[in-house]
Structure 1
Amino acid sequence: MRAESVFFDVDGTLHGGDVFEAYVIHMLKRSLLRLLILFPLSLLALLMHLFFPDRRAGLSLLMWVMTFMVSEESLLRSEHGFAVEFAGTVASHKQVLRVLQGHIEEGNYVYLVSGSPEMMVKSMYPAVSAMPNVIVIGSRFERFLGGRVIAVRCVMSEKVRQIERRVGHPVAFKAGYSDSWKDRAVLSCCEEAYKVDAAGQIGRWLDERF
């Protein structure tokens, strides 16, 4: 039997909540002094993110302010620890995880594609991420002038670009699973598009034009 490719969003789909959003709030609480010292930049970043929440620039500037003069080693430890703790407290969507596991066992290529940082997804789902037929794609950071910025924010149509960059050709999925209409760019590449509700139940995206 020929292996198929399937797409899964992560936050809101495999579990409730958003690990990156929770991590940013966590970092804000720990970075009050930096936010005050760099207040003009902090204010600009917050306004940019408020008015353009799906764009990279505002959140990237905010991330730089919060991580300025913090070592990459310390940030990686913090990021991993937070993701593991988040995974232990968040509500898993068991029906979706069973479907995910079924695709893995059938030998299908499973793409976990998230707006959250790629390493945080791998920290939350280490066993799944280690499977040879699972490809994890997410947002990525890079160092810039003593802090961290977002090199790639893997949301909306950027998800399709990052998948194509990883595999080297246009994508086509047998099925796709997401809780959000914002994933319509990827869902338009799926033969079957499935909607995951807030309780983790799977339905179809009915009468939707992707």
Structure 2
Amino acid sequence: MLAVFDLDGTLLDGDSTGLWLWGRVKRSPLRALAVLVAAPLAAPMVMIPRTRRLGASILLWIATAGLGERALRDSCAKFGETFRAGGNALAWRPGGLAALKAHLDAGDRVIVVTAAPAILAQALIGPLGQPIEVLGTSLKRRGGGWVADVHCRHQRKCQALAEAGHGAHWTYAYTDSLDDLPLLRGADKPVIVKGGKKAERRLFRAGLTNGRAAAW
């Protein structure tokens, strides 16, 4: 069986990309100033699905300007090390880790598919030392910095799974957001990791009569 997990808000209690970018920005007065100038434009764009990739790319470029590929990888690896040492606000969600472990113990194939940069997600998931495949947003170099190439969100998560050889259907899908509705609809057992009647009603209104809400 195939179990597919979102990352931020599902396995992690926080926004890994936001914390990584902010960590880079706050160490540089020049980057911080650039973010202050760009934020009135970029921040609203990030909130709207149609313009989210462009808005995120603006902030990503500011935070990574001047980095080559090796330095980019080193930055993500260092963020992962800080996370494992408890040095930032990011944390694993106990319910998420428990579900992940249960699927691995059962011999299921486990995939994390996330809108976070794949290189960052791998730096967080890889040290778990488990056979977990990671799919995420690809980055490309532009003007001396990095921007989003293929933004792995919404329907694109399903496309990423198909391109990786996992077809169009999976047994389980876990996410905290109905932005992942295509991912949930592709699952025999979709789970939204927000408990309570409100979450159950959201699943029902989305037509996911086979879905369930889990309080993680």
Fold conserved between structures, TM > 0.5? yes
Output the TM-score relative to the length of structure 2: 0.78
State how many pairs are aligned.
Answer: 200
Distance 1:130 1:93 in 2: 17
1:58-137 to 2 correspondences below 5 Å = 58-89=55-86, 90-128=90-128, 130-131=130-131, 134-137=132-135
Output the TM-score relative to the length of structure 1: 0.80
Name the amino acid aligned to 1:152.
V
Helix, strand or coil: the match of 2:61? helix
> Are 2:158 and 1:160 equivalent residues in the alignment?
yes
Helix, strand or coil: the match of 1:107? coil
Q: Which residue pairs with 1:22 in the alignment?
A: 19
- Structure 1 window deviating more from structure 2 (71-80 vs 27-36): it is 27-36
For structure 1, list consecutive stretches of 5 or more residues without a partner in the other structure.
none
Name the amino acid aligned to 1:138.
G
Q: Is the CA contact 1:179–1:196 (under 8 Å) kept in the aligned structure 2?
A: yes
Q: Which residue pairs with 2:212 in the alignment?
A: none
- Structure 1 window deviating more from structure 2 (142-151 vs 118-127): it is 118-127
Distance 1:143 1:118 in 2: 15
Q: Is the CA contact 1:35–1:42 (under 8 Å) kept in the aligned structure 2?
A: no
1:15-54 to 2 correspondences below 5 Å = 15-34=12-31, 36=33, 44-49=41-46
Are the structure 2 counterparts of residues 95 and 73 from structure 1 closer, same or farther at C-alpha, using a change threshold of 3 Å? same
Aligned residues with identical type, % of pairs: 27
Deviation at 1:107, TM superposition (A): 2.1
For structure 2, list consecutive stretches of 5 or more residues without a partner in the other structure.
209-216
Question: Alpha carbon RMSD of aligned pairs, Å?
Answer: 2.9
Choose which of 7, 10, 17 in structure 2 pairs with 1:10.
7
Q: Is the CA contact 1:13–1:179 (under 8 Å) kept in the aligned structure 2?
A: yes
Q: Which residue pairs with 2:145 in the alignment?
A: 147
Deviation at 1:123, TM superposition (A): 1.7
Deviation at 1:209, TM superposition (A): 1.5
Q: Which residue pairs with 1:138 in the alignment?
A: 136
Helix, strand or coil: the match of 1:152? coil
> Are 2:26 and 1:56 equivalent residues in the alignment?
no
Distance 2:92 2:34 in 1: 39
Distance 2:172 2:109 in 1: 11
Deviation at 1:19, TM superposition (A): 0.6
Q: Is the CA contact 1:16–1:91 (under 8 Å) kept in the aligned structure 2?
A: yes
Deviation at 1:172, TM superposition (A): 0.7
